[in-house]
Amino acid sequence: MSTPSKPIVWGTPSTWMPLVTDWLRPRLTDAAVHRLRGEDTSGLYADDPEWMEMLESEIRTDIFDVEEPFADELERMVVRCFHGCRTEDAGHYLIHGIRAHRRDELEARLRAMIAEDERLRWMAPTLSERMAEFPSATDEHRSYVVLDDRFMLEHAAHYLIYGSEWIAAVLGRSWRHPLLERGVPTMIEVDLPLSWVTLGMRKALSRLLLSEWTRQTVDKPAHVYQRSFTFILDRDLPPEIVAGHYHPETMKDPWDGRAVYRSPRTVCEHCGNNDGRG
């Protein structure tokens, strides 16, 4: 299998179904696809473990002889991921990349915001105590990107609506509304080399692609299902892997009963000045 020049895009099966088919072909029993398509799959969930069991029954060797080697194969590939944020200028990410969580930088940003905003200034004397209530040690120097932007817009869009989760938490429910007046909800697109993630994450992705390959092959659903899947990296993500960005018009606010949030703007300084995506 040659290294593809284009990234694997989970929501676009044409970017990965042929890769999986090529990989599986010498490992499947004769007429496997024909038999799989004859299975009764009514009642199976999209993420049902049964899909993997069906595939396993048609593999010439143990399924673990497929999952792990395919995870190794993925190491040479690139996957499209997404980072949700709220920014005035997505061009900043194209120049600087995505910085890992740094508590000191977030504290400085929050202090500056409180100093500038007279509605929040009352918080300044007790800010250190408020911040101490929200330790973020496990996030320190970590970057998070997700496999499925659709899932993020449905279930985790607070990153786009409020920006930093930690800043919004410190401000609290009653005082986070000023965050809605800054920046534009933005999805940064990242083409992540899978050699940068742990073997455990590659194995999880391997299982996911093999399982969904089976469902796509047998049931031919109209869409790949929306999937919660996060890559955690102990590093900054450099600008070379930032592929672009877009501004969704609507998303659901998980902090407001998943009410539909309509973005006030869908153009940032970068795309407003560059006449399109980038």
Q: What is the DSSP letter of 220?
A: -
CB 272, min distance to Zn ion, A? 7
CB 270, min distance to Zn ion, A? 5
Q: What is the DSSP letter of 277?
A: -
Note whether 271 binds Zn ion by CB under 5 A: yes
How far is Cα 54 from Cα 210, in angstroms, rounded to an integer?
Answer: 11
> What does residue 238 show for φ and ψ, rounded to 5 degrees?
-75, 160
How far is Cα 14 from Cα 65, in angstroms, rounded to an integer?
Answer: 25
Site string for Zn ion, 88-107 (x = CB under 5 A): --x-----------------
Nearer to Zn ion, 83 or 215 (CB): 83
Number of residues that bind Zn ion (CB under 5 A): 4
CB 163, min distance to Zn ion, A? 15
CB 51, min distance to Zn ion, A? 38
Query: Each residue of 49-60: b (16+ CB within 10 Å) or e?
Result: ebbbebbbebbe
Are the C-beta atoms of 16 and 8 separated by less than 8 Å?
yes
How far is Cα 278 from Cα 266, in angstroms, rounded to an integer?
Answer: 13
Q: What is the crossing angle of helices 199-219 and 17-24, to 10°?
A: 90
CB 84, min distance to Zn ion, A? 13
Among 80-88, 134-142, 222-230, 267-275, which window interacts with Zn ion (CB under 5 A)? 267-275
Nearer to Zn ion, 129 or 181 (CB): 181
Note whether 268 binds Zn ion by CB under 5 A: yes
Note whether 224 binds Zn ion by CB under 5 A: no
Note whether 85 binds Zn ion by CB under 5 A: no
Binding residues for Zn ion (CB under 5 A): 90, 268, 270-271
